[in-house]
Amino acid sequence: MNSQNYRLITIPVSHYCEKVRWALDRLKITYTEEPHIPLFHRLATFKYDSISVPVLATENHGIFVDSTDILHYLSAIAPPDKKLYPDIPELRKEVEELEDLFDEKLGVAVRN
C-alpha cells in the first residue's frame, strides 16, 4: 500500500505510538510518520478533535484517534492470515486483555 494513504501523527516515547508502528510494520503497510514535540503535537491533533497521539489519518477510511481503534481498523483490512485479533472469542478475549495490560500497566511502567 502507498505511504501517501496513511499518515501517523506521533510523539517520542509513547508506547501507544509504538504499538501502532508495530501493527503497521507487521502488516507491511507503508506510512508517513509525522513526529511532533510533546505538547506541540496538539497543533496537529486538534483538528481531529483529539489531544492525544497516535492519530492515524487514512485516505479512504477516515481518522482514528485511539491506538486500539487503529488496531481494530488495521485488523479489519488485513488479509485473513494476517489478522491482529483472533476470530475465536476466547482467544480474542485473551488478546484484548493482554492489550489492555500492555497499554495500561506494562507500557506505562516502561515509559516512566
Ligand X SMILES: N[C@@H](CCC(=O)N[C@@H](CS)C(=O)NCC(=O)O)C(=O)O
How near is the Cβ of 99 to ligand X at its closest, in Å? 9
DSSP 66-97: SHHHHHHHHHHHS-GGG-SS-SSHHHHHHHHH
Closest contact distance (angstroms) between CB of 48 and ligand X is 12
Distance CA 34, CA 96 (A): 27
> H or E stretch including 108?
helix 107-111
Kindly report each contact of residues 81-90 with a partner whose C-beta sits within 8 Å and lies 24 or more positions away, as own/partner.
Answer: 82/26, 82/27, 84/23, 84/26, 84/27
Q: Rank residues 6 and 14 by Cβ distance to ligand X and give the closer one.
A: 14
| Shortest distance, position 45 Cβ to ligand X, whole Å | 8
- CB nearer ligand X, residue 2 or residue 12: 12
Closer to ligand X by CB, 23 or 53: give it. Answer: 53
Q: Which is nearer to ligand X, 88 or 108 (by Cβ)?
A: 108
Residues that bind ligand X (CB under 6 A): 14, 16, 42, 51-54, 66-68, 103
Q: Write out the three cell numbers for 58.
A: 487514512
In angstroms, give the least distance from the CB of 5 to ligand X. 20
